[in-house]
Amino acid sequence: MSLDLLTPVPEACVAQLSRKPKQILGSQILMHTQEEGIPELKGIAAAIVTVTEKRNAYFSVATYDSTNFREQLYQLFPGNWHLKIADLGNLPDGETVEDTYFALKEICFELRQYNIIPVVIGGSHDLIFPLYESFEKNNQLVNMVSIDSQFDFSKEDELISGRSYMSQILTKEPHYLNNFTNIGFQSYYCAEEEKDLMEKLCFDAMRLGMVLDDVTDVEPILRDADIVGIDMKCLSWHAIGDIVKGNPNGIDAKTICALARYAGISDRVSLLGLFELPDTPIFDKLLPQIVWYFIEGMNCRFNEYPLSIGDGFLKFNVPMSNMTLTFFKSNHSGRWWVELTDEDALNNKLKSSTLLPCTAQDYEDACKDKIPQRWYNAIKRLQ
């Protein structure tokens, strides 16, 4: 059993709960403790697993103390939640990096067999590679979203690193990546060759300025994701409280929490990874809030990921100059989808669904004879 590799939650984090109010989150989370062992998994919705592996980090990664994260998370008050949350402790570094990758892959796969969403916290961004590999046995195509200031397609050597994991994913056989989307990239951190490759592969990307201008535009992207990885180097120095080592431009604290909530609301997201954690007092408080908003989002899921449209949706046919697009709006959540109506695309590898999440603005643009770029990319990927 892969979960046996996990070490318990630090006793200091458990002991301090006896002096706290019973209403706090720490009193409600099921914990892997030295005394009780791993809790019963049945009925758990999300499970926290912390990691420390950073030997393949491209940039220097701080040694993050997960005790600080747990102490801050446990003292937060939950919302009106109905889901069970567990903290399964820490995965120690393997003898080799490959050992850590294998253990993390097996842990994520095992948890998802119980319909538990793993929330992997810590280590370097290359750990998203074993998270992706954990879908290998499912025989399904995967949509992956990376919230990051760069694309991570570098191929300087054969080593998997936090700067090259996407190249490894693209070349790995069998190939089951359907779509990759970057949220928050900054052009001066991305080589032109990487931008060309994103366009050639019909992958989607959203610049930092677009994210900060209107974070709601990101919701459809996260609604269609299976894996969400967040590289905390995407944050601005204001968010991490480090004017010396932080970035002059980046995602702020409010926006990263909103993105985490959208990821939680997504009926499809089944794995969250938070990597490259800065070791600052402000971030010690921000990270638990990011996780809190993800869980809050999970509690607000609509359970309406539509493989086929039935009752409860309004249908809008939009005649355009060279085609007719069909949009659907949920009566329950108010969210929008656009149908992939290209005849060649309908007989494709995603036969279970022909719908792409979109926004009300996409519908309004279509009414003005403007086709959403994400629709174009999706059609090209299916052909």
Structure tokens at 380: 């090209």
Is residue 321 over pLDDT 90? no
- Which pLDDT score, from 0 to 100, does residue 149 have? 93
Longest CA pairwise span in the chain (Å): 68
Q: What is the DSSP letter of 158?
A: S
Provide mean pLDDT across the span 254-267.
97
Helix/strand/coil for 313? strand
Amino acid at 233: K
- The pLDDT value given to residue 383: 67
* pLDDT at res. 348: 45
| Statement: residue 116 has pLDDT above 80 | yes
The answer to whether 119 and 49 have CB atoms below 8 angstroms apart is yes
**More confident call, 208 vs 162:** 208
State the average pLDDT for the chain: 89
Q: Give the C-alpha separation, 295 to 261, whole Å.
A: 7
Lookup: tokens for 13: 């984090």
Bridge partners (DSSP) of residue 227 are: 144, 271
**For the chain, counts of helices (H) and of strands (E):** 14, 13
Strand runs labelled E in 128-200: 142-147, 177-185
Q: Are 301 and 294 in contact (CB under 8 A)?
A: no
Asked whether the predicted pLDDT for residue 179 surpasses 90, the reply is: yes
- Quote the percentage of the chain above a pLDDT of 90: 65
> Range with the lowest mean pLDDT among 3-12, 177-186, 310-319?
310-319
Question: Comparing 143 with 376, which gets the higher pLDDT?
Answer: 143
* Confidence label for 228 from pLDDT (cuts 50, 70 and 90): very high
Query: Residue 345: pLDDT above 70?
Result: no
CA-nearest of 227, 235, 149 to 184 is: 149
Give 157's pLDDT tier (boundaries 50, 70, 90). Answer: low
What CATH fold (topology level) applies to the domain 2-298? Answer: Arginase; Chain A (3.40.800)
Would you say residue 208 has pLDDT above 60?
yes
The answer to whether residue 135 scores a pLDDT higher than 90 is yes
Q: Taking the domains of the chain in order of start, what are their residue ranges?
A: 2-298, 313-382
Give tens-digit pLDDT for 209-227. 999 999 999 999 999 999 9
Whether pTM > 0.85 for this model: the answer is yes
The answer on pLDDT for 350 being more than 50 is no
The predicted structure's pLDDT at residue 159: 52
- Tens-place pLDDT, residues 31-41: 999 999 999 99
pLDDT at 251: 97
Structure tokens at 138: 């499912």
Place of tokens 């980046």: 250
| Tokens encoding 199 | 């366009």
pLDDT tens digits, 299-316 = 999 988 666 666 788 999
Mean pLDDT for 320-339 is: 90
Residue 45 near residue 272 (C-beta atoms within 8 A):
no
Q: Is the pLDDT of residue 133 over 90?
A: yes
Q: What order do you get walking across the sheet with 177-185 strand by strand?
A: 30-31, 84-91, 44-51, 117-121, 271-275, 227-231, 142-147, 177-185, 204-207
58-102 pLDDT, tens per residue? 766 777 889 999 999 999 999 999 999 999 999 999 999 999 999
- Percentage of residues in the chain with pLDDT exceeding 70? 91
How many Å apart are CA 63 and CA 31, to the nearest integer? 23
